[in-house]
Amino acid sequence: MNRVHIKTYGCQMNERDSEAVAAMLRARGYRIVASEDDCDVLLLNTCSVRDAAEQKAIGKAANIAHRKRKQPDFVLGILGCMAQNRGAELLDKLPDVDLIVGTQKFHQVPDYLDNIRAARAAGVPIASSIVDIAEEVGSQNTIRDHVLTQDAAAAAAGADGDVAMDADVPPQISAFVSIQQGCNMDCAFCIVPKTRGDERSRPMNDIVAECRALADRGVREVTLLGQIVTSYGRRDYVHTEGISPFVQLLDRVHAIEGIERIRFTSPHPRGFKQDLVEAYGRMPKLCGYVHLPMQSGSNRILRAMNRPYTRERYFEIVEALRAVRPDMYFSTDIIVGFPGETDEEFEQTRDLFERANYDMAYVFKYSIRSGTPAAVMGDQISDDVKEARNATLLGLLQKNSVRRNATLVGKVEEVLVEGPDKTGKKFTGRTRGNRVCIFDANPRLIGQLVPLLIERASVSTLYGELVLCGVEA
Ligand code: 5AD
């Protein structure tokens, strides 16, 4: 009765939180299973950024609740952003949910599951569901690093003699590292300040220690995560010689032997001052891929969104980064159909979108989030208009992506070999520009940086052959 499946919705921070919960549960002797059909405990780690994301998780929870009739001991939990956003109110719609745990309480999940299971084993009737969405001082530090995944798995396997455990835990080559929680920017459309709370940074020494431990275990790439990473440590550390705490952190991670690639997400355009732009010039491990959320290309809409930059400043940042790294890859987030967005204002977005020449973009139709300032703005835009604007940008993106990929065919790109692809027959890895590549390789090359000759490309994937002198591919 200890098989747990965690289904994750939303962003990389959520994925990382799920990994951390999985690591903590493994350390307690739970088994993390890949299929939700074979689990005793289903945890949905949820997203609230758009209504569609919440509805998806609610639909899933409603569907799965019937399982309780066949499997009376089955435990259903809702974790993360939607738990935080809606709390006990979720039980009105979903009375079969046993556990609702918010974003500052992930570390309590093992205790809560233990309690539910112990009560059931003892035949003690459980009066009600557990709901914990309280704030917790220092919660940015309470999710322990998941570097222990392998060790915990081995310990758990030793404890219950389940040697199949290692198969659940492939060697980790690329890892997410949480550096900060919450956001104080108060963008008018955004629910994150409610779901993730105030901006809080982890101590720099802890983050560096986690990255070092990851490197010792074979991790070669780290992605530093936070809701607004460029503001990292702004209340805790001073600028030194014009270098922000975030860039100081990048410098320290860059110095770690074994870490070969550094990525981060999500930044704010406001954080791209000279020190960060220059970091791309002097830190070779910093991957040439920048996610730079534009949201809108109209200065009036940016002001209404409470985004403190202009389209001119945004484009200046893009150009400054391209001056330092001419082959820089860019991705962005755009919201179409923000309240009051006119055709002309959307045209400004389309224009900037074209000029920035993105390799990747996440285009969202504005979704009303109750409790945010934009939810009560007049002049909400119809779904048809949002859909048309969305399709326009996605069409441009597809063209860009095909064009960029075509320039890569015939070239050699450095790829970090991450492991088998979905089919299990080939291997997968990514270029520095974050393009997914598929190729034949020897499993010994997992974790290595290797040159790959790109032979063909689809819209989103590159296919190629390793160029290995004297090494068996
Ligand atoms: N509607 C649509 N998209 C949104 N995002 C955030 N809030 C909303 C909303 N209410 C998008 C933004 C953000 C990304 C994570 O989600 O583009 O950068």
β-pairing, 412-420 with 427-431?
A: antiparallel
**Token digits for 455?**
């032979």
- Measured distance CA(308)–CA(304) in Å, rounded: 10
Domains in the chain, CATH or no CATH each? 3-142 (3.40.50.12160), 173-287 (3.30.750.210), 412-466 (2.40.50.140)
Give the residue whose CA is nearest to atom 18 of ligand 1. 333
Quick one: CA dihedral 443, 449, 455, 459, positive or negative? positive
Residue 228's Cβ-count burial label (10 Å; 0-12, 13-18, 19+) is buried
**196 Cα–ligand 1 center, Å:** 14
Pocket lining: 189 vs ligand 1, CB cutoff 6 Å: yes
Stretches where the chain sits below pLDDT 70 are 126-127, 143-170, 470-473
Q: What is the mean pLDDT of the chain?
A: 92
The model's pLDDT over 20-79, given as tens digits with 9 standing for 90+, comes to 999 999 999 999 999 999 999 999 999 999 999 999 999 999 998 888 888 888 999 999
The span from the CA of 179 to the CA of 200, in Å, is: 9
CA angle, corner 71, sides to 129 and 5, nearest 5? 70
What's residue 171's pLDDT?
82
Structure tokens at 361: 């973009």
CA 381/CA 364 separation, integer angstroms: 13
Beta strands in 184-296 (DSSP E): 200-201, 221-225, 261-265, 289-291
Kindly report the protein residue whose alpha carbon is nearest to atom 12 of ligand 1. Answer: 333
In the prediction, which pLDDT does 398 show? 94
- State which ligand 1 atom lies nearest to the alpha carbon of 333: 17
Q: 78 alpha carbon to ligand 1 midpoint, in Å?
A: 21
Q: What pLDDT, on the 0 to 100 scale, is given for residue 147?
A: 56
Reference 265, options 349, 332, 356, 191; nearest CA is 332
Q: Which residues, in sequence order, are bridge partners of residue 8?
A: 45
Q: Are 85 and 51 in contact (CB under 8 A)?
A: no
How far apart are alpha carbons 58 and 146 in whole angstroms?
28
Regarding the beta carbon of 366 and ligand 1, being less than 6 Å apart is answered: yes
179 Cβ contact partners less than 8 Å away, ≥ 6 residues apart = 201, 202, 207, 224, 225, 226, 229, 232, 249
Instruction: State if residue 293 touches ligand 1 by the CB under 6 angstroms criterion.
Output: yes
Residue-level pLDDT at 169: 56
- Give the amino acid at 364: F
Q: Best substitution site from 81, 82, 333 to test ligand 1's pocket, by max atoms within 8 Å of Cβ?
A: 333
Residue nearest to atom 16 of ligand 1 (CA): 49
- Position 85 scores a pLDDT of 96
User: What pLDDT is stored for residue 163 in this prediction?
Assistant: 32
Contact 437, 406 (CB under 8 A): no
Residue ID of nearest Cα to ligand 1 atom 17: 333
| CB-based burial label for 463 (10 Å; 0-12, 13-18, 19+) | middle
Report pLDDT digits (tens) over 167-188: 455 688 999 999 999 999 999 9
Per-residue H/E/C for 369-392: CCCCHHHHCCCCCCHHHHHHHHHH
* Ligand 1 atom closest to Cα of residue 372: 10
Return the SS3 of 292. Answer: coil
Q: Is there an atom of ligand 1 within 6 Å of 288 CB?
A: no
Residue with tokens 């600028």: 239
Closest CA to 20 of 103, 123, 95: 103
295 within ligand 1 shell (Cβ under 6 A): yes
What is the C-alpha to C-alpha distance for residues 162 and 124, in angstroms, rounded to an integer? 29
User: For ligand 1, atom 13, which residue shows the shortest CA distance?
Assistant: 333
Query: In this structure, are residues 77 and 65 in contact, taking their beta carbons and an 8 Å threshold?
Result: no
Sign of CA dihedral 269, 273, 277, 283: negative
31-32 sheet: strands from edge to edge: 31-32, 3-8, 41-46, 75-80, 99-101, 130-132
CA of 46 to the centre of ligand 1 (A): 15
Residue nearest to atom 5 of ligand 1 (CA): 49
pLDDT score of 140: 82
Tell me if 449 sits within 8 A of 220, measured CB to CB. Answer: yes
Rounded CA-CA distance 436/204 in Å is 31
CA-to-CA distance for 246 and 286, rounded, in angstroms? Answer: 13
Residue 174 per-residue DSSP state: E
Collapsed DSSP state (helix, strand, coil) of residue 131: strand
Structure tokens at 460: 């989103």
d(CA 345, CA 351): 10
Phi, psi of 461 (to 5 degrees): -130, 145
| Total residue length of the chain | 473
Scored b (16 or more CB within 10 A) or e, 177-208 reads bbbbbbbebebbbbbbbbbbbebbbbebeebb
